[in-house]
Every structure is written in C-alpha cells, then in structure tokens.
Amino acid sequence: MVADYDVIIVGSGPAGIFAALELAKEGEPRVLILEKGPDVEKRDCFERSTGKCAHCKPCRITSGWGGAGAFSDGKLTLSTEIGGWLGDYVGDDELARLIDYADHIYREFGATSEVHGTNDENIRQLQSRALLADMRLIAMKVRHMGTDRSYDIIKLMRDRLDAHVDIRTGTPVENLLTEDGRITGVRTAGGEEITGDYVIVAPGREGADWLSAEARRLGLSVVSNAVDIGVRVEVPAAVMEPLTKELYEPKLIYITKSFEDRVRTFCVCPYGVVASEATDGVVTVNGHSYAEKKTENTNFALLVSTVFTEPFKEPIAYAKYIARLANLLGDGILVQRLGDLKDGRRSTPERIARGTVRPTYGDATPGDLSFVLPYRYLSDIMEMLEALDELAPGVNSRNTLLYGVEVKFYSSRLRLTSALETEIENLYAIGDGAGVTRGLIQSSASGIVAARAILDSIAGRK
C-alpha cells in the first residue's frame, strides 16, 4: 500500500521548518507538517498586548507555527560551541558548514546583514578581563533578528512552504505508529491515523515531555540531559553595555567555588523586556529584544546546569516542580530585588518602587525567591553575580531585579545516528525537544541534517 505521505514532520518550530524547506528543494516529496498550536496569523498572545498571561492551551508563545522561535529574541549564534550538541553527531567541521548554510537561509528570508562580535581585539580584551574574574567568555558572532522581525521571517517561510507541503495546525499528535521496528505513521489526538514512510519528530521544548513519554513507550534508549534552572536578571542597559555593545549576546561560563557547579548567561536581551511563557500550565520567565523598539533595561538569564545521575530520570518533571513553587507563591512570576534577597526578606511593591530599576514585566509578584529555589542554586547565582560585577560593574547592585524562575525543558537525549535517526527505522528526532539542540541556529541545522538523510534514502530506493 502507498503511504499517505513520504515524510511526516511533527512540529513546526525552526527544526521542522528547515527540514521542510530542505525537502521541498529536491523532487518535492509528499510532505505533511503537523502542529498542535495555531497558525502564524492566529498566534495572538494576550500577554503581548495586555501584559497579563491568559494561560492559553497550548501556550501561543511556545506553540504554533514557528515554535518558540516565532516570539524569541531572534538571535542566531554563529558558533559551534553554543546552542546544543549537534556537533556530537555530525562533527564540528560539518556543523560549521551547516550553521553557515542555515544562516544564509535566514538572510534570504530577511534577516539583517549586521553581525555582532567581529572586533577580535576588543573581544580578546574582554576575554582577559573575564578570566581575571574566573569566568570564561566564549567568542562568537551573533546575528540579531529581533522578536518582531523573527515573526515576519517565519511567516515568509510559511508562505514559501504553502505551495510545496501540506500544513495542518491545531493538530496534536498522540502517538507514533510502528511495525516490526519501522515507523509507519502517526495517530493524532483526534484518533486519525496518517501513514508515512518517514517521520521527523521536532516537538520543541513545548513537546519535550511528550517525546520522552513516547520514547519510553517505544523502548528507545535515552540519556538525561542537564537540568537548567535559574533566574532572569534585569539591570539598567548601561550596566551591561560594555559587553552587549561589542558582543550583543555575551556568553559567560562560571564554575562556582562553593559547589563547582556550572553557571552561564543565556538569552541576553539588550534594551529588552522580561516576559513570561507557559508550558503545560507552568508559567516561567523569559526575555525579548525588539528590532524597532527599546527600553532602558537589559535582561538575561543566569542558569545553573545540573547533570543528575542514577536513579534520577525525570529532568523535566524536576524543573516543572521548581517552577510550580514560584507559580504557587506568586500566582505566576516572582520578582525580587537582589538587596532584599541578601537581607533575607521578601520584596514588596514599595521596595521595588524605591529601587533604581523599573521592571519591564509589570505582572510579576514581588516576593522571596529563597522559598522557591534550593539553597545550592541561589548560592551559585549570587556567586556568579559577584564575579560578573567585576566585568560589568553594577550587576551586583542591591537594586538589580531577579525574576523567577527561568527553566529550560530539554528532553532526554535519544540514541541517534549521525543522521539523527532513532533506533526505529526511518524515525528521526531533531531540535530542542529531542535534546539535540538548544537554540535557533543549531535547531534549524538539525532539520537540514534529517531532511538530507531522508532525501538520500528516497533516492536510493528509486
């Protein structure tokens, strides 16, 4: 029997979109994209217009055409060292070529030509200063699209693909269908069975929990990724400008003296805003920078990475548990002045108002993060802030705002081939939700890897 489709793609984030773009270039195989969230024009997030989260199910910030990347800060980190583990599968040389190729496609659809982090001499000086503060500054080039421009770009990609592939939004996939160790298709939440010769799962962070559950059901080998938990820091933009003006996205890594934990900066948003996002009813904090509008503040995440050993097997469940504590105490996002945290007291609206940093997220509840985050995480974060203050004086100010919690839901990594094929024949797993990547550019590149492997397989069968 002839399958309904040659290729079924589950998820329309950057990984799924770039897989589809690559497949559409060669011979136009029959491709179906299934997305549980709304189409791009219908991703009208209530919070973006009102400042208050409406708890849409699924979250329109993280689900829908474009995935979480549609409303992300739109940073393309053009480095093999940042953004995931795709190099473990394809090698660093091939990863560098894939990054360049994916970057070219983004520019084809309208990404800016401006690249930050090109002044090698200034960067070397910043790296030397970082080393004196016991931090490592990773040099990399960054192309910043902006949250507003990112939306326009993924809409153009949607328009391009519309003529080549079938797209069904608002269609969650319940199960992957297999027979004799080979993928045969998918079953939607509505009970419809759709057959396909190849299936690419690209569920993004929003679907990481679903993919982990399916992997267990199908008996696939998995390895737990690190758990990333921390806070979003908001300071006056002038404090971080020595770093952001040169690098835009400074990637700093610090190993704490107290526990030897790894703490890193993530998603730096110069002149940006703090925002929230919801995953399965759990509200976490995030940040955005826009291409056309700026605030007086810069925000960034400080994340503590923990790799748990046996018998721990539920990194997503643990991270959600921490996030739920913040939601319980703050009815969503908590915010606290650093000075109040050090003094062992909760922040209040009056104390926030007396500070010099005006919060860009007005729906956060002033509170006490020490009731949420384990002591080890708080200790790591405050130690990193002290180190970072040597590189960017003012970061460790009593007026600095901390929002909690920020969590990255990375799935357990499946055992994959160099082509990102799972132990089930013709089933491929890509992107952040598969635990392969954690950023726009590597996620996009992973889609290209799987698509090329499938095209080669299809060609070999003819």
- B/e letters for 377-388, b = 16+ CB within 10 Å, e = fewer, are bbbbbbbbbebb
Q: What is the pLDDT of residue 291?
A: 76
Q: What is the pLDDT of residue 74?
A: 84
pLDDT tens-digit map of 345-368: 999 999 999 999 999 999 999 999
Q: What is the pLDDT of residue 50?
A: 53
Q: What is the pLDDT of residue 308?
A: 76
Enter the tokens of residue 198.
Answer: 């190849």
**Predicted model pTM:** 0.85
pLDDT tens-digit map of 8-59: 999 999 999 999 999 998 767 999 999 999 998 888 765 555 555 666 777 7
Give one word for 218, left, alpha or beta, with left for phi > 0 and alpha for psi -120 to 50.
Answer: alpha
Q: What is the pLDDT of residue 70?
A: 64
Enter the tokens of residue 421.
Answer: 């094929």
Q: What is the pLDDT of residue 53?
A: 60
The stretches in the chain having pLDDT less than 70 are: 1, 27, 45-55, 60, 69-72, 310, 312-313, 409-411, 462
Residue-range domains of the chain with CATH: 5-122+140-223+412-461 (3.50.50.60), 227-408 (no CATH)
Q: What is the pLDDT of residue 293?
A: 86
Q: What is the pLDDT of residue 258?
A: 94
- Give 18's strand partners: none
Contact 210, 203 (CB under 8 A): yes
Query: Which residue's structure tokens are 């020595």?
Result: 242
What are the residues whose beta carbons fall under 8 Å from the beta carbon of 180, sequence distance 6 or more?
Answer: none
- B/e letters for 194-220, b = 16+ CB within 10 Å, e = fewer, are bbbbbbbbbbbbbbbbbbbebbeebeb
Q: What is the pLDDT of residue 147?
A: 76
Q: What is the pLDDT of residue 146?
A: 81
Enter the tokens of residue 108.
Answer: 């084809």
Crossing angle between the packed helical segments 208-218 and 315-330, to the nearest 10 degrees: 150
